[in-house]
Structure 1
Amino acid sequence: MAQYDVIVIGSGPGGYVCAIRCAQLGLKTACVEGRETLGGTCLNVGCIPSKAMLHATEMLHEAEANFAEMGLKGKSPSVDWKQMLSYKQKTIDQNTGGIEFLFKKNKIDWLKGWGSIPEKGKVKVGDETHSAKHIIVASGSEPASLPGVEIDETVVVSSTGALELSKVPKKMVVIGGGVIGLELGSVYKRLGAEVHVIEFLDKITPTMDEEVSRQFQKLLAKQGIEFTLGAAVQGVEATKQKAKVSYKMRKDDSEHEIDADVVLVSTGRKPVSKGFGLEDLGVEISERGQIKTDDHYRTNVEGIYAIGDAIDGPMLAHKAEDEGMACAEGIAGQHPHVNYGVIPSVIYTHPEVSMVGRTEQDLKEEGREYKVGKFSFMGNGRAKANFAADGFVKILADKTTDRVLGAHIIGPMAGDLIHEICVAMEFGAAAEDIARTCHAHPTYSEAVREAALACGDGPIHS
C-alpha cells in the first residue's frame, strides 16, 4: 500500500493544479485519473479543443470576409474537415502531454484508473488501495440534458460530440443560449451550417450584463445565427441521420417543430459527485449534487476536501485552478484566499465577450449608487484597422468613491483585456487609477482607458 500526504481524484484544471501546488509545497502527492490522458474535460473535450476550432474558423472568416479588402487576393480557402479535426487533436495532445511532463517534473504519481474512497484516508484505484492524510475530490462536471432529450453523441450531441462530428451538418439546432452553445454554434456557422439557437429565457447569456447580452445577440444575428427566445423544448425525436425538435413558446403556449441534421444540447453542466463512495462515508451533498465544503474546501468528513465544478460556484476552469491552489496551500499550513468577486468570465466567439464583478442589474438590486463609463471600439484606431470595431468597454464604479465594481467588454480580445480590470479590482483601484495609467498606442487596451476616463470628465476619442 502506497502512503501519500495528498491524493487528488481528478486531473482537470482544478485537480492537476492542486496536485502540482501540493508537490511544490513538499507534500508527497498522487493524482488519480481514469482517462488515457491528463487534463480532464477542459483539455480533452472542452476548453482547449473548442478554442482550436474557434481559432481555425475565425481564420476562415477573415479570409472570406476581409482578405480582399486588405489587398490579399486569391482563391478562397476550402475546408478540409479531417485536417481540421487533426489540428484540434494535435492541440489536445500537446496540452495533455504538457501536464504529464509537469507531473514527472514535480514527482507526482499518476494513479491510472478510476478512484473511490472506501474509508477515510484510503483511495482505491483498480485492485490497489493507497493511503493519504488528505484526499481532494476534483471530479469536475458533465453535460446536463433535458427531460425527453436523449444524447447519443451522433445526431443529438453534447459539447463532446459536437467536437467529433463526422462532417459539417447542413443545419444545427442549439438548445441553450449560453457560453458553450454560442461558441460551438459560431464554429459551425462559419463552416457553412445553418444554426438556430433555442433558449428558454428571453435573452441569451442570462448571467451577463443586459446591455452586453442585447448587443451580443444583435452581432451574432448579423453573422447569420437565428434565435428563438422564450421557448421551452418539449423533446427531440432522432433517427440515424436527422432530428426533430419540438418546443412550446412560453408567452402563448403555441407549439412548434424544427428539423435539424444535428442537435447540440448545451443546457449547462452538472457536478460529478457520485461513484466515489462519498455518500457511504457521510459526506454531505446538496440536492443539486454539489459536494458541500467550508471556506477551506473541507467536507464534513475529516481529511476529505473538494474543489472545482464539484462544489458550489461558477463552473469555470480558472475558478477550479484557484481553489486547487488554495486547498493545497491550506493543507500545507498557509492562509490562502480566493476572491470570488474577481473571477472573470469569457465567451470566445467573435467578437469576444468578457465580464468581471457586478452587473448594472446587481447594483440596482442592491440599491448602490454607481456611475457608468463606456467607450465604443469604433473610437479605437487599432480596432478599426483590424475590422474589429464592433462592441464596447463598460466600467461600473462607485458613485462616491470611484472604486471599480465591475466591467463588461464585448469586442476584440475581450478575454485578455478584462484582466487589467481584474488586477485593478484586486487592489481596490478607482476608475481614475486606470484612466491615469499610460496605455500603449495603438492597442485595443486603450478602449479600457477611455472607458475609465468616461467615469470622470469623459473619454478623449468619443
Structure 2
Amino acid sequence: MNAFDVIIIGFGKGGKTLAAEFAKRGRKVAIVERSDKMYGGTCINIGCIPTKTLVHQAKIASGMKDATFEERSEFYRNAISVKEAVTSALRNKNYHNLADNPNVTVYTGVGSFVSSDVVSVRTSTEEIMLTSKQIIINTGAETVIPPIEGVAGNPLVYTSTSIMELTELPRRLVIVGGGYIGLEFASMYASFGSQVTVLESYPELIVREDRDIAASVKETLEKKGIVFRMNAKVQSVKHIEDGALVVFSDSQTGEVVELEADAVLLATGRRPNTKDLNLEVAGVETDARGAIIVDEYLKTTQPNIRAVGDVKGGLQFTYISLDDYRIIREDLFGDKERTTNDRNPVSYSVFIDPPLARIGLNEEEARKQNLDIIIKKLPVMAIPRAKTLGETDGLLKAVIDKNTGKILGCMLFAPDSSEVINIVAVAMKTGQDYTFLRDFIFTHPSMSEALNDLFS
C-alpha cells in the first residue's frame, strides 16, 4: 500500500493545478491518469486547445475562395498536423510539470475506489493500491453515444474527439446534433471546405438562446453552405461502398430521408465520466444525470473526497475547473470565503464563425421571471470595426433592469465576441450600471467600442 497526503484521480485543469499547489506546500501527491494521451486533461488534448487551433486554421481556409477541394484537403491535412504539434507540446509540458516534481507521483492507469480512502490503479502491467485521507476526483466527462443502429463499430462514425484525428477532409459531413458542439464543428468543417448537413431533433436551433440570436446564428451558418434539417430523428447509419448512409425521419411529417456522407459526427452531448470509479464503495453519491453531488466547497457525500471539473455536472468549461481549484485552495489554506455560490454570472463562448458569447439572463429568461427590463440590440453591420474586417453578420443584445440600471445579461454574436464578453462580465461582477459601458472610452476602431452603441 502506497500512502499519500492526497490522491487526485484525473489530470485535468483543476486536478493538475491542485497537485502543483499541494506539492508546493510539501504534500506528497499521487495523480492518476488513465491515458498517456490525456496528461493535462480534456482542454489541452481533445477540447478547447485542439478545437480552437482548428477553428483558427479553418478561418484561414475560409479565405481560399478559388481553391479546389484537393487544395483544401491538403490545407486541412496541414491544419491537423499543426493541431497535433500544439497538443503534443502542451501534453508533454503538463506531464513534466508534475512528473518532475519530487513531491508528485504520476500513475498511468484506471483509478477506482476500494474504500473511501483506498484507490486501486490498474496499469497496463499491474494493480497498485494507494491510500490517502484526502482524495479529489477530476475525471471529466465523456461523449454520449446515442443508441442508433449501425453506429457501433462503424469506421465512418466519429465523436468530437476522434474526428480531430481524421487526416482526410470529408467532402460530405453529416453532424448528428445541432447543439453548441455540433455548430462549432459545422462552422469549422464548412470553412475547411466540407459540405455540411446538421441533423437536429428539435424544431428549433440552440433552444437555450433567444430566438432572434438563434435565427441570426442559423442564417449566418447557412451562408457558409451549411444545411439544417430540423425535427430529424436519426434511425440508422449504414456503412455502404461509397461511404455512410444516414437514414432519418422528420418527426413532424413522417418523411424518411436518406443522406450519403463520407463522415458522420455524433455531437449529442457529454456526461460525467464516473463509470469506472466504483463510487458506491466510497460512499460518493451521484444525481440522476450521473454527476457527482458536491456542496459549495466541492465536498462529496463522503467529506474527505471532493470533485472538481466536468465530473460534477454543471457548466463544462476549463475555467470553471480552475475556479474549483481556487475554492479548494482557499478552503484548505485560506480564509474559506470562496464557494461555488459566489462565482455567477459566468460567461461562455461558442467558437463558430463569428463566435457566440453570452453572460447572464437572456430576454426570454428575464421575462419568465417577470422582471421589468429594457432590451438593447445592435446589428453587427452597424459596427465600424466589423466593416473594416469585412465581417458584418451577427447581432449584439443586452438585457437591463429598468429599475436599477444593472446589466442582467448580454449576448454577442459577432467577431471577437469571446474577448468582448469579458468586459461585460467585469462590469456585471463589479455591479456597474449599464451607463458605465455606454460612456466608457474604448479604442477605435475596435469591436469593444460597440458596447458604447449597444448600451446607448
TM-score normalised per structure 1: 0.90
Aligned residue among 107, 112, 115 for 2:111: 115
Distance in 2 (CA, whole Å) between partners of 1:106 and 1:214 is: 54
Residue equivalent to 1:284: 285
1:108–1:195 distance in 2 versus 1, CA, 3 Å: same
For 2:250 and 2:208, the matched residues in 1 are separated by 22
Q: Do residues 135 (structure 1) and 135 (structure 2) align? A: yes
Alignment of 1:190-339 (within 5 A): 190-239=191-240, 242-332=243-333, 334-338=336-340, 339=342
- Aligned position for 2:56: 55
In structure 2, the gaps of 5 or more residues are none
Q: Counterpart of 1:64 in 2: which secondary structure?
A: coil
Which deviates the most, 385-394 or 147-156? 147-156
Query: What is the letter of the counterpart of residue 381 of structure 1?
Result: P
The 8 Å contact of residues 376 and 447 in structure 1, kept in 2 or not, is answered as no
Compared with structure 1, are the counterparts of its residues 185 and 154 closer, same or farther at alpha carbon in structure 2 (3 Å cutoff)? farther
Q: Secondary structure at the match of 1:7?
A: strand
What is the deviation of 1:300? 1.2
- Structure 1, gaps ≥5 residues long: 68-75, 454-462
Structure 2 CA distance for partners of 1:55 and 1:324, relative to 1, 3 Å: same
1:77 Cα deviation from its structure 2 partner: 7.5
CA distance in 1, matches of 2:349, 2:436: 24
What is the CA-CA distance between 1:90 and the residue it aligns to?
Answer: 0.4
Q: 1:22 to 1:374 in 2, by over 3 A?
A: farther
Counterpart of 2:416 (choices 413, 416, 423) is 413
The one-letter code sitting in structure 1 at the alignment partner of 2:451 is V
How far did 1:144 drift? 0.5
1:85 to 80, 83, 96: 80
In 2, Cα distance between equivalents of 1:228 and 1:406: 30
1:432 to 409, 429, 435: 435
In the alignment, is the contact (CA less than 8 A) between 1:21 and 1:329 conserved in 2? no
Among residues 372, 375, 378, which one is paired with 2:375 in the alignment?
Answer: 372
Given that 2:27 and 2:103 are in contact with CA atoms closer than 8 Å, whether structure 1 keeps it comes out as no
Structure-2 residue corresponding to 1:148: 148
**How do 1:353-392 and structure 2 match up within 5 A?**
353-392=356-395
- Once the two structures are superposed, residues 320-379 of structure 1 have per-residue CA deviations (whole angstroms, 9 ceiling, x without a partner) of 221232133323353213345322121112111110111111111111111122222222
CA distance in 2, matches of 1:438, 1:7: 49
Amino acid of the residue matched to residue 34 of structure 1? R
Tell me how far apart the structure 2 counterparts of residues 377 and 148 of structure 1 sit (CA, whole Å): 40
1:380-436 CA distances to partner (integer Å, 9 max, x unpaired)? 222211112222321211111011111100111111111111111111221112222
Moved over 6 A (4+): none
Equivalent in 84, 93, 100 of residue 98 of structure 1: 93
CA distance in 1, matches of 2:373, 2:8: 43
- The 2-side partners of 1:362 and 1:128 are apart by 50
Secondary structure in structure 2 of the residue aligned to 1:196: strand
- 1:29 maps to what in 2? 29
**1:175 and 1:181 in contact (8 A); partners too:** yes
Paired residue total: 444
Whether the 8 Å contact between 2:73 and 2:169 is mirrored in structure 1 is: no
Alignment partner of 1:185: what SS? helix
Retained in 2: the 8 A contact 1:172–1:262?
yes
Query: Quick one: distance in 2 between partners of 1:98 and 1:425?
Result: 35
Assess if the C-alpha contact under 8 Å between 1:358 and 1:405 holds in 2.
Answer: yes
Q: Is the 8 A contact 1:21 1:325 kept in 2?
A: no
Tell me the alpha carbon deviations over residues 116-156 of structure 1, each in whole angstroms, 9 at most, x when there is no partner: 22122222223322222211111111111222252447301
Aligned 8 A contact 1:25 1:332 in 2: no
SS in 1 for 2:136: strand
Contact 1:138/1:308, CA 8 A, preserved across alignment: yes
Whether the aligned pair in 2 keeps the contact of 1:48 and 1:92 (CA below 8 Å) is: yes
Q: Is the 8 A contact 1:6 1:133 kept in 2?
A: yes
Following TM superposition, by how much is the alpha carbon of 1:171 offset from its aligned partner in structure 2, in angstroms? 0.8
Q: Give the 3-state SS of the residue equivalent to 2:134 in structure 1.
A: strand
Identity over the aligned pairs, expressed in percent?
29
Q: For the structure 1 residues 229 and 77, does the alpha-carbon distance in structure 2 shift closer, same or farther, using more than 3 Å as the test?
A: closer
Asked if the contact 2:175/2:186 (under 8 Å) is kept, the reply is yes
- What secondary structure, in the 3-state scheme, does the structure 1 residue paired with 2:264 have? strand
Structure 2: how far apart are the matches of 1:214 and 1:427?
32
Q: SS of the residue aligned with 2:324? A: helix
AA matched with 2:140: G
Q: Which amino acid aligns with 1:346?
A: S
Helix, strand or coil at the partner of 2:190:
helix
What secondary structure sits across from 2:132 in the alignment? Answer: strand
User: In structure 1, what is the Cα distance between the partners aligned to 2:264 and 2:119?
Assistant: 39
For 1:241 and 1:41, the matched residues in 2 are separated by 33
Query: CA offset at residue 239 of structure 1?
Result: 4.1
